[in-house]
Structure 1
């Protein structure tokens, strides 16, 4: 119940309330990977990158095949400047869930920031192929910026 309420609060922009609810869900069930993942999303949105990485890491420890947790930990690591960690996490996410377009996008952006333009272009083109129509403009903008077009 707390995990669901936390998700609703996060969606409404109440990040502090969301973090509190996810923390309560974790107190009640410390093995609930989804609650750690959700709290990581809320912490990331708050700018608490270290807290987000810690929560995504715990979600992965509880569920080693949690592709979205790898993808979002990669994004948080990229935001921290840990580009090698971002590429590793995003790559693992694409191995676990080849259709997860966000992981391909995150990977491509991190690769571009590392100066690996050809690899970045390939990842971002894959993201563009997989992204729903509503996200294609976002991915295309990231691709153009990353590869300097």
Structure 2
């Protein structure tokens, strides 16, 4: 019986995840400004965080928009390297709207940045289960987490799934070039 194994190039211990799935806010106001700060990056991450905080503190909004605003602030915090602050925002958002896949996707990315790959896998599995809006990013990030926990076959499979969902995603194409299938 021929057994195939996957070998990944070991020169890369960690590749930055691909996340920042902003959550749209229905309506206008400060919460919408927060969403646009996370989406377009027209302000600094710190300024965007202030906009989101102001929306959270001062604006009346539906639970879905409030959860989205916490998620968007988490995205801005994560981009600024404040992973604990981002994780706190994602936790709050999950308590409000746990079925929102983007929360779990971003939480998984924050855990990857912290090199907590086991926690990242839990979050990313949930993002995939919930059919997150940026599903290809959830598979890509899970591939990174899997590779860093030693699950090379799972990582390879997830990078392939990423390309199936988004054939133009160059990062996934490159990732697959690092793998060799040996008999």
Q: With structure 1 as the length reference, what TM-score do the two structures score? A: 0.89
Match of 1:97 in 2: 131
1 or 2, which has the higher helix percentage? 1
Match of 1:118 in 2: 153
Match of 1:25 in 2: 55
- In the alignment, structure 1 residue 140 sits paired with structure 2 residue 173: yes
Query: May I ask how many residue pairs the two structures share in their alignment?
Result: 146
Could you list the runs of 5+ residues in structure 1 that have no partner in the other structure?
Answer: none
Cα RMSD of the aligned pairs, angstroms, is 1.9
**CA pair 62-142 structure 1, distance change in 2 beyond 3 A:** farther
Q: Point out the structure with max Rg over C-alpha.
A: 2
Match of 1:107 in 2: 142
Match of 2:76 in 1: 42
Deviations 1:66-125 (A, max 9, x none): 111101100100111111000110011001106711100110100001110001111111
Could you list the runs of 5+ residues in structure 2 that have no partner in the other structure?
Answer: 1-28
Deviations 1:19-46 (A, max 9, x none): 0111111113484101000000000010
CA distance in structure 2 between the aligned counterparts of 1:123 and 1:98, rounded to whole angstroms = 15
Q: With structure 2 as the length reference, what TM-score do the two structures score? A: 0.73
1:6/1:17 contact within 8 Å kept: no
Match of 1:68 in 2: 102
| Deviation (angstroms), 1:15 | 1.2
1 or 2, which has the higher strand percentage? 2
